[in-house]
Chains A and B, each alone.
Chain A
Amino acid sequence: MEDVLIRTATPADFTRVLDLWQSIDRHLGLADRIDHLETLHAHSPDLFLVAERQGEVVGTLIAGWDGWRAQMARLAVSSALRRSGVGRCLVEEGERRLRGKGAQRIYALVDRRSEPAQPFWAALGYAVNENIVQYSRNLPEAL
């Protein structure tokens, strides 16, 4: 971990961020688009984190804060660096920044197909909320 830097994402990272996400097997609710990253960066630049190692983007985290709840999204670590502590560092930095905004409840919706994901979040102090079910919808262009 000594050579990995956790920092705020900048527009120069965006294509490398999309490449990293593309390299990871996951279910996708909405196709990733660079303009969505630009929107996030324009409004919440400090809550979009990357992990950098030797000039490469090796990890990401979107620490979403909407004024009521916080959501950890797009926690990603390149396959070569799994189990090296990069994910933990991203989450801890995201938590620090979210708490600075006033967040008290932080959600992480975890892919149940990912074998290491659930122990990872449990080790970081997160617990399954049995009382919650999440539903999703992609809105049409015009409502």
Chain B
Amino acid sequence: MPEIVIREARADEVVDILALWNAAGSGPSVTDTPDHLRMLTEQMPGLFLVAEWGGRVVGTVIGGWDHWRGHIYRLAVHPDARRRGLARRLTAEIEARLRAKGAIRIYALAATRQEMGVRFWESIPYDKSKDVPYVRTFDVL
């Protein structure tokens, strides 16, 4: 079996990433389009990561740093690649990159219908927020 490698996402694999999110129950949202993800690979390459396993994209994570707090989004692992510690590796890698940029407090958004997601976050040293998540979606200006 080849090793699973974590690396920065490339513009030519955004369709694979969207398929992985679909398979893993992550999203979708208004920004789940090939064009938007291609833009992301250009604008925040160090914080948009994939896990590659024998030529396949089997995991993702997006890190966000707004110069106030660090954020983790779209932690996703393909069902075929579960139970190998991959979510933990992706999280550790994005945490290290956010820390290097200056982030201390990290917020992670987990999808409740992505059962692996909530179970994972409960298993590592993160606290579940009591706050209520409100969101508003806008069209592109």
Residues of A within 8 A of B (CB): 27, 29-30, 36, 39-40, 42-44, 47, 62, 64-71, 73, 95, 99-100, 102-112, 118, 121-122, 124-139, 143
Contacts and interface: CB of A to CB of B under 8 A. Distances in A.
Interface residues on B, range: 35 or more
Nearest to A107: B135
Contacts of A127: 134-136
B138 A104 contact: yes
A62 B30 CA distance: 23
Contacts of B104: 30, 138-139
B127 A44 contact: no
B133 A69 contact: no
Contacts of A27: 130
A29 B126 CA distance: 12
Contact of A134 (B43, B64, B67, B133): B133
Contacts, number: 177
Interface of B: 29-31, 40, 43-44, 47, 62, 64-71, 73, 92, 95-96, 98-99, 102-113, 118, 121, 125-141
A106 B136 contact: yes
Contact of B136 (A43, A64, A126): A126
B121 to A, nearest CB: 4
